[in-house]
């Protein structure tokens, strides 16, 4: 029934679920969320996807990230280990996030876009 709702064959749904289960077993503290066509690796207890943790790590460094965000050292290490194993998957989300506002405005005319990046000063 779930496969029908997602519009994919049952065997494909089972393959995806098995792959996610294997990844969660290899990387304890990881879960997958989102709609079937856009599943994302996330870090349990943070409310953040792996790509978001990686982005913050690259922008702020380890110490600042751990001091200013709801991420523990262990959670960060798991997210970075996952990224090392599946860089193409995470890089797709990072690239999407880095698209300029003009891209999104063209894709969704009339959308009011306000851009905030790590390291931006408040109120600018």
Domain boundaries of the chain, sorted by first residue: 2-107
- How distant is the alpha carbon of residue 54 from its chain centre? 9
Q: In what order do the strands lie in the sheet with 40-43?
A: 30-33, 40-43, 48-49
| Average pLDDT score, the chain | 87
- Answer yes or no: pTM beyond 0.85: no
Beta strands in 8-122 (DSSP E): 30-33, 40-43, 48-49
CA-closest candidate to residue 41, choices 13, 79, 14, 77:
79
pLDDT in tens, 32-87: 999 888 899 999 999 999 999 999 999 999 999 999 999 999 999 999 999 999 99
pLDDT average, residue stretch 117-121: 63
Q: Could you give the C-alpha distances from 15 to 1, 10, 19, 21, 40, in angstroms and in order?
A: 15, 9, 6, 10, 16
The pLDDT of residue 96 is above 80: yes
The pLDDT of residue 1 is above 80: no
22: number of Cβ within 10 Å = 10
């Amino acid at each position: 029934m779930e496969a029908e709702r997602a519009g994919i064959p049952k065997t494909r749904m089972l393959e995806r679920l098995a792959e996610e289960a294997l990844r969660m077993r290899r990387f304890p503290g990881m879960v997958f969320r989102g709609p079937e066509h856009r599943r994302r690796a996330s870090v349990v207890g943070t409310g953040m996807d792996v790509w978001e943790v990686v982005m913050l790590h690259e922008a702020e460094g380890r110490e600042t990230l751990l001091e200013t965000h709801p991420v523990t050292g262990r959670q960060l290490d798991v997210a970075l280990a996952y990224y090392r194993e599946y860089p193409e998957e995470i890089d797709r989300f990072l690239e999407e996030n880095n698209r300029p506002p003009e891209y999104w405005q063209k894709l969704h005319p009339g959308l009011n876009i306000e851009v905030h990046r790590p390291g931006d000063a408040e109120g600018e």
